[in-house]
A and B are shown apart, each in its own frame.
Chain A
Amino acid sequence: MSILKSREAILGLAILVLLAVVASRFPGFVRPANLANVFTDTSPLILLALGQMVVILTKCIDLSVAANLALCGMIAALMDGAGVPLPAILLVVVALGAALGAVNGLLVWLLGIPSIVVTLGTMTIFRGTIFLLTDGAWINAHQMSDAFKAFPRAIIAGLPVMAWIAVAVIAVFAVLVNRTPLGRAFYAVGGNPHAAVYTGISVGRTQFAAFVIAGALAGLTGYLWVARYAVAYVDIAGGFELDVVAACVIGGIAIAGGSGTVAGCVMGALFLGIIKNALPVVGISPFWQMAISGSAILIAIAFNARSNRAPGRIILKRAEHRT
């Protein structure tokens, strides 16, 4: 009974219904090969949504992830142009992404500036920096080395590397969030910051860690994005931060912090990914997508608010009941 009531189950059901509706008209859409394509296509959203999830768990929000992605992607393309080998590029984009996340995190942690203000500001600064680096020029496919472009598309055991990276990160997050002290700290800080302080958890440091993780994932996704679409310019992934927040909200991550699961987050991203891929198949103009994801956000938060009356995943409260 409680499984039926869990929002992961409802979301899973919604995804199945969505697939069934599309499949009733276009059976080809649910072929395993096409579903694998949809998953690969949704990988960047999954990666960023997982990073955003830990940030939201700690009562913050990171609106700069898409700009971080674009900046790291541009740096990756520039380094490739300078002949830097791929492993070094991967290392640098993850480190740079983490550093950009750390800037957000430090401003939130040390100065106590609300995260929405910090990341609204850094969002424009990161994007502007790309312009300063390139003067607005594009880096196109023919300017990128083959190894650089081939890595995310290389097929291993039937799936491209990009999809495997998403799978690996999901696995790491499942362990990180559920089985490590840091993961519990994310929930504790968001669930009840005052109680978290009394249990010896530094609220600011935990928020800082969440921003660094989100930044590192955005950096990695930046390379994957640029390599997969084989183009880098100022506006790549413009407005993607809204999709990322939407995926989290649809996945049941409470914006007030402290509540949400990795499975929900991944399903929220998949839900949006399936809609995005199904629209052209069903013959609806892609211009509908923005309004649909907006409506999905609104329905999801209305739904969250209703289900929040039942206790969410607030571990400190649960610990109180147990003792």
Chain B
Amino acid sequence: MTEQTGRQIPDRLTSPLSRALKSWEALLLVVAAAIFIANSLASPYFLDPWNLSDATFNFTEKAMIAFAMALLIISGEIDLSVGAIIALASTVMGLAMTAGAGTPVLVALGLGTGLACGAFNGLLVARFGLPSIVVTIGTMSLFRGISYIVLGDSAFTGYPASFGWFGQGYVFWVITVELVIFALAAIVFGVLLHRTNFGRMVYAIGNNATAARFSGIRVERIKFTLFLLTGLMSGIAAICLTSRLGSTRPSIAAGFELEVVTIVVLGGVSILGGSGSIPGVVLAAFVMGLVTFGLGLLNVPGIVMSIIVGALLIAVIALPRLWSMVRR
């Protein structure tokens, strides 16, 4: 940790092809393919298209948030309140639903709550300069706490049938609405990060916020926007999740933040900020989804899967570092 202060410059540049082959994304692709093959050998039910379509629910909601979270982490911040934002947005939708609101109002409220929560986080972090880890640990308690105040140990049920489309509907054959939202989000965030000035600025802030500020980047405004985006994606995820479950409990989406951060880190985004890519996050989402679905088919209980997710999170960061230590 201490001995490596400067950035290392390689003696010899490798060719683009060999770099692509050695990249984190290529490794993820191999892992995803291996898990896919292992799963189809381990269980005869795996290769059924409807099963695979069901399997996507394991990760689509988390991955939607993971795209925005990836940008946030690349910029050097983090948002641990995403699960709580889902809980609050879902509670607000539930309140509106009991008051007789229709689907368009519910969707607007879900998005609005997500944006408001993101703006609140962004205001505290970007405007007042508070550390995002503690701010979002605080808002995590606050947002979910409000859900608990509203709901206690009860639940909202009885969402209108048309609202079920978001989490249970199909666009075409086995392609679910959630999968389409996931794909659209991947494209939008991929373009935003890799093809726009905004994306370059996000990298610049993550690598050196001071230098970014001196080169004229409005660091605070961009960080605020990123929190807003994370809130918005959490709102969308809240709509999908509430629609899929058809009910709201205050414990909804508990522990989502862990899995979202795991997907982002597994996708090759440096937790210290400054590097990472959206294709990596997409592949990581598939890897996570395939692992949990495959284990589910083998009747592995959820909590054992969470051990595997936790170990995966540590291993993907530890192994490259161990490797470079061994080689030195």
Contacts and interface: CB of A to CB of B under 8 A. Distances in A.
Interface of A: 61, 107-109, 111-114, 116-118, 120-125, 127-129, 131-132, 136, 193, 197, 203-204, 234, 242, 245-246, 249, 255-256, 285, 287-295, 297-298, 301-302, 305
Nearest to B124: A298
A301 B303 contact: no
B149 A285 contact: yes
Contacts of A193: 2
Given A114-B271, A297-B138, A305-B130, A128 B152 contact: no
Given A255-B134, A298-B139, A305 B129 contact: yes
A42 B101 CA distance: 44
A113 B317 contact: yes
B307 A294 contact: no
B314 A117 contact: yes
B140 interface: yes
A127 B322 CA distance: 26
Contacts of A118: 314
Interface residues of B, number: 48
A204 B4 CA distance: 13
10 contacts: A111-B322, A117-B271, A204-B2, A246-B138, A255-B133, A287-B153, A294-B138, A294-B144, A298-B139, A301-B134
Contacts of A305: 128-130
Contacts of A121: 310-311, 313-314
Nearest to A256: B131
Contacts of B250: 287
A59 to B, nearest CB: 11
Interface of B: 1-2, 78, 124, 128-131, 133-135, 137-146, 148-149, 151-153, 250, 258, 261-262, 265, 271-272, 301, 303-304, 306-307, 309-311, 313-314, 317-318, 321-322, 325
A107 B314 contact: yes
A208 B291 CA distance: 32
Nearest to A61: B133
Given A125-B314, A197-B2, A298-B135, 18 more contacts: A107-B318, A108-B1, A111-B318, A112-B321, A113-B317, A117-B314, A124-B309, A128-B304, A132-B304, A234-B303, A242-B141, A246-B138, A249-B138, A285-B149, A287-B148, A290-B141, A293-B141, A294-B144
Sorted nearest first, the 6 A-B pairs with minimum C-beta distance are: A291-B145, A294-B141, A128-B307, A294-B142, A290-B145, A297-B138
B310 A291 contact: no
Contact of A124 (B78, B151, B307, B325): B307
A100 to B, nearest CB: 13
Contact of A116 (B133, B152, B153): B133
B313 A288 contact: no
A294 B314 contact: no
B312 to A, nearest CB: 8
B141 A204 contact: no
A95 B120 CA distance: 43
Contacts of B146: 291
A136 B2 CA distance: 42
Contacts of A294: 138-145
Nearest to B143: A294
B306 A116 contact: no
Contact of B128 (A255, A289, A302): A302
B140 A242 contact: yes
Contacts of B1: 108-109, 112, 203-204
B239 to A, nearest CB: 23
Nearest to B129: A305
Nearest to B120: A298
B137 A288 contact: no
Contacts of B307: 124-125, 128-129, 132
A124 B306 contact: yes
Given A291-B148, A291-B149, A131 B131 contact: no
A125 B310 contact: yes
